[in-house]
Structure 1
Amino acid sequence: MKRGKGMKFVGDSRISAEKTSYYPKDYSEYPGRTEAFWPNFLLKEWLAGSVFLVGFLTLTLAHPSPLEGMADPTNASYIPLPDWYFLFLYELLKYEFASGDFILIGILGIPGLAFGALLLAPFLDNGPGRKPRQRPIAVSMMLLALASVVWLTYESASAVDWESRAEANKPIPESDVTIDVDHPGYAVYEASCMSCHGGELEGSAAAPSLIGIEYSAEEIADIAVNGLGAMPAGLFTGSDEELQQLAEFIVSVNESAE
């Protein structure tokens, strides 16, 4: 027997003589189960992200998001809407069990239970398997939450006339018309119409622009008294003379814009 064969030398009996490796095995030791992070895995992630980004940009170009008008605290007819990713919560508050006397259930109770359940899902279903059929509780809760959000968002979005809102809330271009403040109809316009149609007849979120219309003075006078479209009747309460002055003023402004 050779000297030292089978003998192990340690400096401290508390230290194990068997050396333990703290480094994970190379990915090549698990054929078919893993792959190299660079470039294989990272390249797949970049490709997936690029496809999603191109699709998202294409969607935004094909269907631009309708922009809302400038905030106007004097416009009581404007109905604000949350951004699209909050529409499902907005729709939830329309139901009787989540509105009115039960508003706290709608704004705190149901959302709190839903998001709390998603937070608890990993703890309720903590099995070692990663396949969906091996995580029935977590997968079921996630599918239920996803279906609820998609359905409520669809219901809310389908009830809104997005094209009309986008058309009504387009940015108002700067007016290049000449406003004759000495015209007798200007004072009537200022008292009766300016709050909705703007100081230069440019319109607002509450009322359309009066620039570029093709109505005669008689037609304008009739609309001022009887209304048209979203404009109700009876808004103008002045005399017949003032009504005629108002109509002639609006016609003169449009003539100056031609």
Structure 2
Amino acid sequence: MHKGKGMKFVGDSRISAERKPNIPKDYSEYPGRTEAFWPNFLLKEWLAGSVFLVGFMSLTLAHPSPLEGMADPTNAGYIPLPDWYFLFLYELLKYDFASGPFILLGILVIPGLAFGGLLLAPFLDKGPGRRPHQRPIAVGMMLLGLASVIWLTYESASHVDWAQRAEANKPIPPSEEVEIDKQDPGYAIYESNCMTCHGGDLSGGAAAPPLIGIDRSAEEIAKIAREGIGTMPADQFKGSDEELKKLTDFIVSVNEQAN
């Protein structure tokens, strides 16, 4: 560097010296075809998701799912059911074309084609528009899939008595230990009428639910003993009315002790 010569700075014209705010690009040249991801598109998706989430939470609070007891592998009379979001597949397997010798069709082929079609729908219909009438293939496949799931779920749920099922499989706290008074007159009647199915300690068995932890009055228990309930047939109790009263008093006393 020679004396008297100052330092020179070279600037790059490709870098703007002015700071620009984070403003999305102007898509007015393509009306109805695209929009800025942030914040336009993302805000719409967030609002739609929030409305669905609030509605779903309100539904679960208004109609909570019944809670059943712990799984008992020794209970051969228990009929397991899938969770509600798989009920439509459970119902599908009841039809002749998807069960028996065609079971692979019901568990692999039909669901695979359905979910595969929904997965490929955006690629099968590449229309530039976003309105439903501009994308008939994708919208048609979506409506067909949604209607099928709703109908199959409704058909499956409508044939199940959920209240009776929850009552028959009512959970009992594991720590609950009840001392059975075998000297009670009602226990002798219980032995001859109920023990075969409900067990010696009223804890239930393969053919019947437990009788401990139930929330029923003596009159309700007497009615069930005479008329049956669920898979329990009528006229299971063969004793007199006096014996039935001793039996119901015994069962009620055991449950009062449990509570």
TM-score (norm 2): 0.65
1:113 offset after TM fit, Å? 1.3
Distance 1:195 1:71, change over 3 A: farther
1:27 offset after TM fit, Å? 2.2
1:137 offset after TM fit, Å? 1.4
Residue in structure 2 matching 1:209, options 211, 214, 232: 211
CA contact (8 A) 2:87 2:157 kept: yes
Q: C-alpha distance in 2, partners of 1:129/1:51?
A: 25
CA contact (8 A) 2:124 2:138 kept: yes
Distance 1:188 1:55, change over 3 A: same
Q: C-alpha distance in 2, partners of 1:249/1:144?
A: 56
CA contact (8 A) 1:175 1:202 kept: no
* Residue of structure 1 in register with 2:64 after alignment: 64
1:140 offset after TM fit, Å? 1.1
CA contact (8 A) 1:118 1:142 kept: yes
CA contact (8 A) 1:98 1:105 kept: yes
1:107 offset after TM fit, Å? 0.9
Q: Which moved more, 1:247-256 or 1:150-159?
A: 247-256
The code of the aligned residue for 2:105 comes to: I
* Residue of structure 2 in register with 1:98 after alignment: 98
- SS of the aligned residue for 1:143 comes to helix
Aligned runs of 1:88-167 on 2, under 5 Å?
A: 88-167=88-167
1:149 offset after TM fit, Å? 0.8
CA contact (8 A) 2:127 2:134 kept: yes
CA contact (8 A) 1:175 1:200 kept: no
CA-to-aligned-CA distance 1:2-26 (integer Å, 9 cap, x gap): xxxxxxxxxxxxxxxxx7xxxxx94
CA contact (8 A) 1:78 1:206 kept: no
1:251 offset after TM fit, Å? 4.8
Q: C-alpha distance in 2, partners of 1:249/1:29?
A: 82
Q: C-alpha distance in 1, partners of 2:25/2:56?
A: 37
CA contact (8 A) 1:178 1:253 kept: no
Distance 1:162 1:179, change over 3 A: same
Residue in structure 1 matching 2:24, options 27, 31, 49: 27
1:138 offset after TM fit, Å? 1.5
Q: Which moved more, 1:125-134 or 1:28-37?
A: 28-37
- SS of the aligned residue for 1:65 comes to coil
Q: C-alpha distance in 1, partners of 2:107/2:210?
A: 36
CA-to-aligned-CA distance 1:169-201 (integer Å, 9 cap, x gap): 332356675413567986896797456435542
- Which blocks of at least 5 consecutive residues in structure 2 are unaligned? 1-13, 15-21
CA contact (8 A) 1:197 1:208 kept: yes
Confirm or deny that 1:83 pairs with 2:80.
no
- SS of the aligned residue for 1:29 comes to coil
CA contact (8 A) 2:186 2:249 kept: no
CA-to-aligned-CA distance 1:42-95 (integer Å, 9 cap, x gap): 665555444333322221121111122221122222111110110111111111
- SS of the aligned residue for 1:112 comes to helix
- Which blocks of at least 5 consecutive residues in structure 1 are unaligned? 1-18, 20-24
The code of the aligned residue for 1:59 comes to: L
* Residue of structure 1 in register with 2:233 after alignment: 232
1:119 offset after TM fit, Å? 2.3
Q: Which moved more, 1:163-172 or 1:132-141?
A: 163-172
CA contact (8 A) 1:185 1:248 kept: yes
The code of the aligned residue for 1:201 comes to: L
